[in-house]
Structure 1
């Protein structure tokens, strides 16, 4: 940075943390001309990633929850650049961004270089197929809206075909639809519950005459001994009971060995029929991180210190799912959760302000506030943690659902302020009163 020009802060990745960070930097620094703030993302719109399972189930219309990066940039005094990160020149302090194309394949923006003084990497994670044969070709991941929408359309089509006897017939002589969800983490479990609700709603709207529980079969397949392995055993046990009440078939200790267009095969020899397969079994760092010349962890994440600066370059910061950040209290690394990205975005705003002022950077300290799992309209379970409750507290039912919803509302408030969040909440409540409970087209 020099005193003769405005410092340039480039943030790559417009996920939950990245967009919150540039919004605050733009409001506080960009508006006053104290810094040029630039956001780079490969997509033109933002959606809170924990909502994608609802998009896949059709219980949420993504068009009403997506946010245009260009509009947010205009409102909050930062610049948006469409494109995907392909490389970094640390000597010249530039990043390489790929060309962008429209739906017909015509080039919108050429490949280009963007200069930076401070670079922040927040490009998240991608689905990890673990090299399972047929997984990438025959299973649908839920990384972006397009994938979730593809699954939703295929689900409706499968139900329509089944009711017209164009699909599989069960041993009882009735038509059936089988959905296999590989991975029983939060995404897989939440999707299974949403799909049970979707089956009921599609039947109510006349899109199929199948029995929502008897003819629509939902299988959750987990390689480990229990579902929700990252959460407490009590949360896992209570969630498993709720899924059983929803007639969701939960298979644990079943390692998937192959995914075919019509089935999932496991190491124990099970053959699970599947008209649709979702892969929610794991995440990994984007491959581009290994090409940047910065130290990475065994999981491929950028290794950062307590200040969130990369170990290889103090001008490059990283946070969120793409960063391996120390969690000194637990002698491990910060888990890849939305709450961690939110806390790190808030921390980085203060840290970058200190950096501009020439002050020492503070150290990030992650505070685990607990975890919540939503089972859609049926229930929610989870645990709260922190000083206010003096440890850990198990919650479920209405209280858990309210807490789960509040997480998204906190994200909206970070992007639009308290008044904007209130207006957004009211508008979505009104829209639900005049729209189908499931997106039908």
Structure 2
């Protein structure tokens, strides 16, 4: 059912995501303590998103040339070494004070991290049978949400108790362990590795041997292949639009928007911001377990449950916007979580079944690049809407966009009737 390499992938990426949360909290706290400036602290996640966007643009060149497990290994090896350099710079031995080396290291670390998401999502359908793909995605997504749910709280406690520098040492060690685990991942679609240095994918050479008259694709052709597949497939176009909507709508649940809603609509203090976030993440964890428990029923009507997730999310968002009773808000966001998870897991599964396994890494890379760009843009766009129309209307607009996304899916329902990957164009 699940190959052993899937458990290695699941474990290494779970550990990697855990230390990601640790390092974001530790570095943000460190920068804030050094400068007392929210702007300088905000540059930590900003540089992270920028670097991942640039990495996503270049990722296809790496994905077509090297085995996916090797890319995971090299990314986490680089992060391990870079965090070691950062820990040394911030150690009592050097006592680094300048923020420029810290920001440069964040850019490099995040650039390497940009390869991991498309590689992981493309590896999952290679490491499990198709009949348990939905369950595998739900297991990975649920673990991600548990890490997000518990990670931020635990990270804050660790940083407060021990300080940023010891936590960064733990982060470096965590990346080292994650790197070691990735060495055991075998891609069954590739020939068995002859040694640890056998890192090149066999597809490029195989395709070149197929015909001497057909030249190898240029770098530009490689870079644009994922984008072309996204555009030419109506099925992938529809789901990418839904993912873009999710990215656009998800910005209203984080950062300043939620804080403004808590203060202006609920008339509560910052503590309620934390309660609402905790309730939302708890809901997504519950949703992940529900998807795992109901996987057999969901498989029979995957497309319809995807639409149900979008519409349920839209309804909950609208009710959230119109509600002014703070305790009820906690229940609303708790119910929102399962719909969010249902929509996200079913979409990822449908994407994995909508193109060939060779195309999948480039498709995920292109989609991830697009979503990172949109997330950055949407922060500014949503800020403008909130200023112009008010925070309540912002959440109502987010709900309307989700309804629109469900409408796009329903409009293209015939292409979702295709059962096998690569048949819908």
Structure with the larger helix share: 2
Ranked by relative contact order (alpha carbons within 8 Å, sequence separation 6 or more), the top structure is 2
TM range (shorter): under 0.3
Structure with the larger strand share: 1
**TM-score under structure 1 length normalisation:** 0.23
**TM-score under structure 2 length normalisation:** 0.24
